[in-house]
């Protein structure tokens, strides 16, 4: 069973990591250019497994309440992203069958980037990341239909595109398409997760008395840079619904070259120690080298001030078992402290199937 104390600890760690990038960029409280936004969602779970048809009885109906800060170009990264908006939000909804699935409630941070900004019409993309509770997890006796989620607390992520229509100096009508995902990163099983697609609409209401003044200062000159980093990580995973939790860890040696103000490309080598591979040796005791794997990867990092969004694609070049596919991927969120420390949370996967969550603290030089 899921330990609620561990779930709350993970929730605090996630929220802290999400909020760190904004602590140095918040304006003074009396001058905050705030935007409040109530949101309505209507859509459906995507039944990416046949068993999901057994419990999908109705549509997705959900609501959100967001409070965001409109950046004004005070920092260079704000001008690079066209004066984005960021903040916090709450999500609550019926995702199709409250009796079997529950009603998820999420707390998250979001980052909203304008793609085209016009006087009366604008186009945006937005990403949100947080934690969600309120699920009814799988239980062999009490909830056998929910073979998608085995935990009460899960990662919450969504990505959307929307159109904003200006109604007045302080009010905009928004509508768009939204993709939402809930999963637990194989901390427990089952974990096929939920993928949701919906249409949403909202009203964005500005809480400041006067429109903000956007700074047009020229961007500082860009100088390409090189970065080497060492990243040890650790995590837990399950391979069977009622099975034990296995320890897994990764040591990454990486190199990134910053090719632009917000882009890095790089490569590196990963060394994996995964105790779950012992299941491949049912008749013999495996040697230490039997549960080691090594891979090489290429990757990209998108920078938002000191936060980095990382995508890596790798291939195993050493492994004694064929328990998993030859290729692996990594999605990570990192924060770069001036001291060189890099806290990181990542999800490692094989062709979209989660392997484990990597919690790490690295160092760049």
Integer Cα distance of 95 and 9 in angstroms: 26
Q: CA-based angle 237:325:249, to the nearest 5? A: 35
CA–CA separation, 71 vs 83, rounded Å?
A: 5
What the chain holds in terms of domains, given with CATH numbers, is: 4-206 (2.40.160.20), 225-364 (2.40.160.20)
Q: What's the token pair of residue 167?
A: 């109604």
- Beta-strand ranges (E) seen in 207-326 are 225-238, 245-260, 263-274, 292-304, 307-319
Residue 16 per-residue DSSP state: H
Output DSSP code: residue 286: P
- Classify residue 79 as exposed, middle or buried by CB count within 10 Å of its CB (0-12, 13-18, 19+): buried
What is the C-alpha separation between 262 and 77, in angstroms, rounded? 8
In a structure prediction context, what are the per-residue pLDDT tens digits for the chain, which is 365 residues long?
445 444 444 444 444 444 444 444 444 444 668 999 999 999 999 999 999 999 999 999 999 999 999 999 999 999 999 999 999 999 999 999 999 999 999 999 999 999 999 889 999 999 999 999 999 999 999 999 999 999 999 999 999 999 999 999 889 999 999 999 999 988 899 999 999 999 999 999 998 767 778 899 999 999 999 999 999 999 999 888 878 899 999 999 999 999 999 999 999 999 999 998 888 777 777 888 888 999 999 999 999 999 999 999 999 999 887 777 899 999 999 999 999 999 999 999 998 888 999 999 999 99
> In 30-170, where do the E strands start and end?
34-45, 60-70, 85-94, 102-117, 121-135, 154-166
**Alpha-carbon distance 101 to 56, whole Å?**
9
Average pLDDT score, the chain: 89
Spatial distance between the Cα atoms of 138 and 148, rounded to a whole number of angstroms: 8
């Amino acid at each position: 069973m899921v330990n609620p104390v561990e779930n709350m600890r993970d929730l605090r760690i996630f929220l802290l990591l999400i909020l760190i990038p904004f602590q140095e960029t918040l304006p003074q409280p009396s001058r905050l250019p705030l935007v409040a936004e109530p949101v309505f969602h209507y859509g459906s779970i995507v039944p990416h497994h046949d068993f999901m048809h057994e419990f999908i009885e109705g549509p997705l109906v959900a609501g959100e309440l967001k409070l965001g800060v409109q950046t004004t170009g005070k920092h260079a990264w704000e001008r690079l992203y066209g004066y984005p908006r960021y903040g916090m939000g709450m999500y609550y909804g019926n995702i199709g069958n409250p009796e079997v699935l529950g009603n998820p409630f999420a707390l998250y941070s979001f980052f909203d980037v304008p793609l085209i900004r016009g006087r009366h019409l604008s186009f945006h993309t937005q990403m949100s990341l947080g934690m969600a509770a309120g699920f009814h997890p799988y239980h062999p006796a009490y909830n056998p239909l929910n073979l998608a989620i085995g935990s009460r607390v899960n990662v919450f992520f969504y990505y959307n595109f929307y159109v904003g229509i200006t109604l007045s100096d302080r009010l905009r009508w928004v509508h768009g398409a939204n993709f939402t995902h809930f999963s637990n990163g194989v901390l427990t099983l089952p974990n096929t997760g939920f993928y949701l697609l919906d249409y949403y609409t909202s009203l964005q209401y500005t809480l400041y008395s006067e429109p903000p003044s956007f700074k047009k200062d020229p961007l500082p000159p860009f100088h390409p840079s090189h970065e080497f980093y060492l990243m040890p990580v650790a995590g837990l995973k399950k391979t069977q619904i009622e099975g034990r939790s296995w320890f897994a860890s990764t040591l990454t040696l990486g190199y990134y070259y910053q090719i632009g103000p917000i882009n890095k490309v790089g490569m590196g080598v990963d060394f994996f120690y995964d105790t779950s591979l012992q299941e491949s040796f049912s008749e013999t005791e495996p040697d230490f080298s039997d549960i080691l794997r090594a891979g090489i990867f290429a990757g990209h990092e998108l920078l938002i001030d000191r936060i980095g969004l990382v995508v890596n694609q790798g291939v195993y070049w050493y492994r004694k078992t064929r328990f998993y596919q030859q290729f692996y991927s990594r999605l990570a969120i990192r924060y770069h402290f001036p001291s060189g420390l890099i806290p990181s949370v990542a999800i490692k996967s094989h062709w979209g199937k989660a392997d484990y969550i990597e919690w790490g603290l690295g160092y760049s030089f």
